[in-house]
Amino acid sequence: MSMRITLIAGSNRSDSQSGRVAQYLAQRLQQLNVETDIIDLAAEPLPLWPEESASSPWPRFAESLRAAQAVVVITPEWHGMACPALKNLFLYAGRRELAHKPALLVGVSSGQGGAYPIAEMRSSSYKNCRLCYLPDHLIVRHVESVMGETVTGEDDQRIRARAEWSLQLLLDYANAMRDLHEKHRSPPADFMNGM
């Protein structure tokens, strides 16, 4: 059975480093014979929830998330916080799209940061949609100097190796959890929104 992973580039800035990292990770997954789809929130912004719009990309995004066996969530660090476009997406996404699917969190920072948005996403984005973040994550620091077309040095080699390991971990979780989404995406009405 083939594997499909949706990557979410969470920045709402055009030509973002998050988008570039999403492209890099998608290429690596494709080399492992994984089908990929990228939701780029800069290229196709979602209206602020709960706005309904005929031109909203949400129906297409929802279909991509439903078809995926796993998700990669890429969050830039903006002043120590996750990007608002990404937080907005998690207001749209529910159990139907994401319940009991594994997700790799990827932080992106132009400096030494990147940890705060990871913590923010872990604490607030999974509750209603029931997305299952891996216990491990990836932080791409000094992002402008790594994951380009050629390896630039020791730091670049290290983050590429860590990315490979993280993606393989995600694939292992996706295989192990494949049936859980269908079985548990609709809990009893009393337990719909957690505790």
What pLDDT, on the 0 to 100 scale, is given for residue 195?
65
Count of domains forming the chain: 1
DSSP H or E run through 97: helix 95-98
Place of tokens 């292992």: 172
Which stretch of DSSP H or E encloses residue 116?
Answer: helix 115-124
Structural domain including 20 reads: 4-191
Is the pTM above the cut of 0.75?
Answer: yes
Q: Which amino acid is at 119?
A: A
166: nearest Cα among 38, 1, 5: 5
Low-confidence ranges of the chain (pLDDT < 70): 1, 192-195
Q: Give the domain CATH number at 26.
A: 3.40.50.360
